[in-house]
Structure 1
Amino acid sequence: MTQSTHLTWHDSEVTRTEREDLKQQKSAVLWFTGLSGSGKSTISVELEKLLFQRGVHTYRLDGDNVRHGLNQNLGFSNEDREENIRRIGEVSKLMLDAGLLTLAAFISPFQEDRDQVRSLLHKGDFIEIYVAADLSTCEARDPKGLYQKARANEIQNFTGIDSPYEAPESPEITVNTDETTVAEAAKKIIHYLEVHGYLSKEA
């Protein structure tokens, strides 16, 4: 892929801070990572609902949803996974600048790729949420039937089976869905956001 060198960044006269002030909130990227079936999407949906009820402007990016459009030309090789996360990192950065609290739920199996997204943003803008669950638990859930297909060699390069998953080294938040309900996990994240000044505490 050839990148044009005839590019100039065109600044806006409206800043991120002004957009945040208009929405009366602080923007950030909440990055959910974990094995397929760990509960990333389910928790992000519940969290977005709770945030919406509090009047918070959000947008949720989900792995399968994005591959229906923006990333439909990507497969699941290591190179395509890296490009998938790179693109989502750039989209998340734009949404951050728009003043949104952005929820990104992606397996994102490689630490280097997640660190790359973090490096795109300022300190405090990237909140890594490790949705932890044992492989056996995820296989037992298997909500999309993907583990069964991977075990039958119908799917190649499936994370946790024939492709590795690198757990976060120092995530801001860890929720273990072997032990925690979806509602409890969402409330834990809300609490973090309140304590660290992303959300005002409810009276």
Structure 2
Amino acid sequence: MAKNIVWHEASVTKEERRKKNNYQSYVLWFTGLSGSGKSTLANALARYLFEANIQTYVLDGDNIRHGLNKDLGFTDEDRKENIRRIGEVSKLFVDSGQIVITAFISPFREDRQQVKDILSENEFFEVYVKCSLDECEVRDPKGLYKKARNNEIKHFTGIDSPYEEPVNPAIIVNTEKQTVEESVKQIVDFLVAKELIQDSHS
């Protein structure tokens, strides 16, 4: 822990930013197996909201590992640190008045709970992007399952590393049965019902 540091209060508050934006700021935390469609869905939702004049930013697992977390591997310890850092970055986005959409496997319940705990009430919404392991392996968009089955990749979630399904997620989106458009609509309907965004058709 660093010593001799003092928190400096910002001149513009989170509440002021939200009031100016005319919408709340929060995290939509997409979790699910590799290949379940997290990144595709996150970006489709971001586009929908952008066109409704709602600013969002997508934090994608692979993209973050190109920069901020390029020093981390895929051991359990590194996965935990990966999610811890993303949680802190997400909190900064929320403080800035933005809606942040994360797309991370984030396989461990404890790590997802840790992110929720550093945010305030109604600032963290867990979205379980549900898709069976069999279907994810069939899709295998990055060829990672094949490599994992051939022992070319170690600590791969669903193969030789566990995935802990959410116990009580805010939303369950079944991408095995729903189209991207149907999934986006389901999430938008949830946000409208929770008064987190305004109904663009009202």
TM over 0.5: yes
What does 1:62-101 align with in structure 2 at a 5 Å threshold?
A: 62-101=60-99
2:53: which partner in 1? 55
1:140 maps to which of 127, 138, 141: 138
* CA distances 1:125-165 after superposition (whole Å, capped 9, x unpaired): 00000000010000000000000000000000000000000
Q: TM-score, normalised by structure 2?
A: 0.98
The alpha-carbon deviation at position 112 of structure 1 amounts to: 0.2
The Cα shift of 1:13 comes to: 1.7
Structure 1 vs Structure 2 CA RMSD: 0.6
Q: Distance in 2 between matches of 1:131 and 1:39?
A: 7
What is the DSSP-based 3-state SS (H/G/I as helix, E as strand, rest coil) of the residue aligned with 2:134? helix
Q: Distance in 2 between matches of 1:147 and 1:102?
A: 28
User: Structure 1: where are the runs of 5+ without partners?
Assistant: none
CA distance in 1, matches of 2:110, 2:174: 22
Alpha-carbon distance in structure 2 between the residues aligned to 1:178 and 1:88: 27
Shift of 1:21: 1.2
Matches within 5 A, 1:12-51: 12-51=10-49
Summarize deviations over 1:81-126 as a string: whole Å, max 9, x none: 0000000000000000000010011000000000000000111100
3-state secondary structure, aligned to 1:197: coil
- Match 1:167 to one of 165, 174, 177: 165
Q: Which runs of 5+ in 2 are unaligned?
A: none
Q: Counterparts of 2:176 and 2:95 in 1: how far apart (Å)?
A: 35
The whole-number CA distance in structure 2 between the counterparts of 1:22 and 1:177 is 35
Match of 2:113 among 110, 115, 129: 115
Which string of whole-angstrom CA distances, capped at 9 and with x for unpartnered residues, describes residues 35-68 of structure 1? 0000100000100000000000111100000000
C-alpha separation between the residues in 2 aligned to 1:161 and 1:26? 38
2:87 partner letter: G
Count how many residue pairs are aligned between Structure 1 and Structure 2.
201
Q: Within 2, Cα distance between the matches of 1:28 and 1:54?
A: 17
The one-letter code of the counterpart of 2:111 is D
For residue 152 of structure 1, the aligned residue among 150, 153, 162 is 150
